[in-house]
């Protein structure tokens, strides 16, 4: 009878270990193909440094960054702010929080004019709207102003 109890204990311990490992791997997003839940193999957004002060983020000398041309996109990082920015045309920019509305992971991928969260594959268009879940809420939009080659984002 003791052997049977030991076997059950060992079995349960191993089963719990396997479930724990599987959960950890699933939580890491997996990945592998652009259509997989983890959004693997999606090109990373270029990053642009900004300066955060008093509720605004400023990007100086925009023409010298990845946001120099219409149709471009970048992850602007300034202090604790992470902002997705696209240059729609000319002096028109769109800015959104880079925090995915699904589980608050940082959105770092961009492919075919779509922002992709690497954790679970949520996708957002360049207007911040959900294109593919699991996210169900659009990204928070920020106001922008572009003057004298300086982009100011109100956060």
Ranges of each domain in the chain? 1-30, 33-154
Burial code of 59-96, b = ≥16 C-beta within 10 A, e = fewer? beebeebbbeeeebbbbbbbeebbbbbbbeeeeebbbb
Residue 77, sorted as left (phi over 0), alpha (psi -120 to 50) or beta, turns out to be beta
Please name the residue ranges forming H helices in the chain.
2-27
Angle at 149 between CA 99 and CA 69, to 5 degrees: 65
pLDDT in tens, the chain (155 residues): 555 455 555 655 544 444 433 333 334 333 333 334 444 578 889 999 999 998 999 999 999 999 999 999 999 999 999 999 999 988 999 999 999 898 888 899 898 898 999 888 899 999 989 898 898 889 999 999 999 999 999 99
Which class in CATH covers the domain with range 33-154?
A: mainly beta
pLDDT of residue 7: 57
């Amino acid at each position: 009878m003791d052997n049977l109890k030991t076997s059950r204990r060992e079995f349960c311990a191993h089963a719990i270990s396997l479930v724990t490992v599987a959960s950890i791997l699933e939580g890491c997003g997996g990945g592998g193909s652009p259509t997989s839940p983890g959004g693997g193999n999606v090109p990373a957004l270029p990053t642009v440094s900004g300066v955060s002060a008093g509720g605004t983020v400023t990007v100086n000398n925009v023409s010298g960054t990845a946001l120099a041309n219409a149709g471009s996109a970048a992850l602007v990082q300034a202090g604790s702010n992470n902002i997705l920015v696209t240059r729609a045309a000319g002096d028109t920019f769109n800015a959104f929080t880079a925090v995915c509305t699904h589980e608050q992971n940082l959105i770092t991928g961009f492919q075919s004019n779509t922002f992709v969260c690497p954790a679970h594959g949520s996708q957002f268009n360049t207007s911040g709207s959900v294109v593919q879940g699991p996210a169900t809420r659009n990204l928070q939009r920020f106001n922008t102003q572009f003057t004298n080659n300086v982009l100011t984002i109100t956060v």
